[in-house]
Amino acid sequence: MTIERAFSAEFQKPYKVEVNGKYLDFQSIEETKHDETKPWKPALEVTVVTKNGKKIEGLNANTPFFTFEDTYGNKMTVSAAAADHIDKIHIKGEDEGSKFDESSLKTLFENASAKMPEGIAREKGVSAFDIEMGKSMGKEGIATLEELKGMGYLTDKDITGAEAIKLEVKDLNKEGSIEEKNTFIEKYRTDYPDSKIQFQLVRGSVLVPVVDAPKHDTTRLFMVFGPDANGDKTLYTVAPGRNMPRHPNPDQHRNVEGVFDEKTFNESAEAWFETAMLKE
């Protein structure tokens, strides 16, 4: 038998998925303790109710529930906190626009592992990408302004008008209060009532353009991996659709020590004037 044949199909894939069997098919997870010293208040501890109903309290929120391992032995984890978020919204959630056509987290990650790009487990920093899953991944909630213009939802006047206040929006996202952002939203709506581009807050505090256009079905899955508190690589988020620009939220542009990255923030601010959220 040749060496090539000796390799199992599992190891011919870019990644294999290791499952923490102790928590497989958990019933629920609840975040019980957060790091209040960091602006984004990451979870420190969770309470898990296992498949058989056992309640485990005080579990480290970064406990790996799933691990992707590449052919070189590099590993990326899916923490308890991330597993909870994905399971609630995309596996068990009732919003069809967010729901994946996957029966469990295990099948989601096993199917994704065969399609994820090679090399992300060993590259430094944040890795954001999308992959074709070949099945329903819900509805995509973003589109480029050029796409929306091509579909007849926007005009050149809409786009030019919004670009005129780009710097103001960037400064509000960088330093503005929620009250200042809400005031801006109402003022823009009053001053430009006919503009098909308006603004809204997403993720609670991020000011982005929004267009009254329908979300569209997608078979693509967006994934983001990045460093965790220990410097290892872990799954940050998944969502339906294409590679979404990182939001111009200062907290998303800080490293684990809390240092702000001006360059990546500016790139995100620019990207979100080429991209818009879509209304239902």
Residues 119 and 142 in one domain: no
- Hey, what long-range contacts does 153-161 have (CB within 8 A, 24 or more apart)? 153/196, 153/211, 153/212, 153/213, 154/196, 154/197, 154/211, 155/196, 158/195, 158/196, 158/197, 159/197, 161/192, 161/195, 161/197
Q: Identify whether 234 is part of a domain.
A: no
> Which pLDDT does position 69 carry in this prediction?
96
Domain end (from 123, 155, 186): 123
Residues 140 and 117 in one domain: no
> Which pLDDT does position 57 carry in this prediction?
97
Domain count, the chain: 2
Give per-residue pLDDT as tens, 136-170: 999 999 999 999 999 999 999 999 999 999 999 99
Cα maximum dimension of the chain: 74
Domain end (from 57, 91, 123): 123
Q: Model confidence at 4, in pLDDT bands (50, 70, 90)? A: very low
Residues 115 and 170 in one domain: no
Q: Identify whether 25 is part of a domain.
A: yes
Q: Identify whether 39 is part of a domain.
A: yes
Where is average pLDDT lowest: 32-41, 124-133, 271-280? 32-41
Q: Identify whether 239 is part of a domain.
A: no
Residues 10 and 94 in one domain: yes
**Could you identify the residue written with the tokens 């984890």?**
77
Pair of tokens at residue 235: 């799954």
Residues 44 and 112 in one domain: yes
Residues 82 and 44 in one domain: yes
Q: State whether residue 188 is helix, strand or coil.
A: helix
pTM for the model: 0.81
Residues 87 and 142 in one domain: no
> Which pLDDT does position 21 carry in this prediction?
94
User: Which residues, listed in sequence order, are joined to residue 31 by a DSSP beta bridge?
Assistant: 46
> End-to-end CA distance of the chain, in Å?
56
Residues 147 and 106 in one domain: no
Residues 100 and 142 in one domain: no
pLDDT higher than threshold 50 for residue 2: no
Residues 150 and 214 in one domain: yes
Question: What domain range is 279 assigned to?
Answer: 136-218+245-280
Give per-residue pLDDT as tens, 171-225: 999 999 999 999 999 999 999 999 999 999 987 789 999 999 999 999 999 999 9
Q: Identify whether 173 is part of a domain.
A: yes
Residues 102 and 7 in one domain: yes
Convert 61-76 to b/e letters by CB count within 10 Å (16 or more is b): bbbbbbbbbbeeebbb
Average pLDDT over residues 65-78: 95
Domain end (from 123, 147, 180): 123
Average pLDDT over residues 41-60: 95
Q: Identify whether 278 is part of a domain.
A: yes
Q: Identify whether 109 is part of a domain.
A: yes
Residues 162 and 275 in one domain: yes
Give per-residue pLDDT as tens, 222-276: 999 998 877 789 999 999 999 989 899 998 888 767 889 999 999 999 999 999 9
